[in-house]
Amino acid sequence: MSKLLIVDDDIRLRKLVRTYGEVEHYECDEAADGLAALEKLQNDHFDLVILDVMMPGLDGFETLERIRKTSEIPVIMLTARNEEYDKLTGFGLGVDDYVSKPFSPKELMARVGAVLKRNGKKSTVLSYQYKELEIRPDSRTASISGKELILAPKEFDLLLELAKNPGTVMRRDKLLQDVWGYSHCGDGRTVDTHVKSVRDRLGPYRSMIQTVWGVGDPVILSDCSRRAHLRY
């Protein structure tokens, strides 16, 4: 399921777009301004951003410019000003599509679908970083302090899945499904074995992933300020 971030200072418009997005089976989250959007993008994984141009504080153009410093996530901009200059500015910053207000929510969802289809399975994040650990989805590589880690394919997939969900409790059966494609009846020891292996690969930084007893052996990918929990 693709996940959308809806960024607009108008709560009624956010709720409207969210309603139509959920009807189309998208998972949706909201941000009321550019700074809140940047924080959500840093701490969670999204597949597309719907971004309003006219917002107080950090406007849509400034927000997009900051997004493009770290991510190639698809962005559709909403604008009440149907001016060529605005569109040229947006395209120059790397926007994927424009929708002018007032707009048809159905047309917006059609454009969302088209942009997602056009981007296919292309990674939308250039890298995930936790302290000295950097994970690069496009090249399927990870490094600590610039030194590349040697990871088996499923070890990388597991590490990446944890990195995509900081602050989220991840169940063992969900990891089996997302990383291995198993149903909940798959062998959970597969997760345990790979978690141990990834921790060993991290060497002195193995504490980035911890097994915590008492709530079903959760695994935690963390940095100083964020923690991603894995619960069975």
Q: Which two tokens stand for residue 115?
A: 């942009």
Q: What is the pLDDT of residue 157?
A: 85
Indicate where the chain has its CATH 1.10.10.10 domain(s).
Answer: 128-230
Residues of the chain with CATH 3.40.50.2300: 3-119
* CATH number of the domain located at residue range(s) 128-230 in this protein: 1.10.10.10
The amino acid at residue 196 is K
> Which tokens hold the place of 24?
């189309």
CATH architecture of 3-119: 3-Layer(aba) Sandwich (3.40)
pLDDT on residue 82: 65
Residue 224's pLDDT is 30
**pLDDT at position 169:** 63
Instruction: Give pLDDT, residue 86.
Output: 75
Ranges in the chain, pLDDT < 70: 82-83, 120-126, 166-169, 181-188, 210-232
Please tell me the distance from the alpha carbon of residue 68 to that of residue 71, in angstroms, as a whole number: 5
Q: Which residues pair with 99 in a beta bridge?
A: 78
Residue carrying structure tokens 């650990």 = 133
What pTM was estimated for this model as a whole? 0.55
Q: Are 166 and 43 in contact (CB under 8 A)?
A: yes
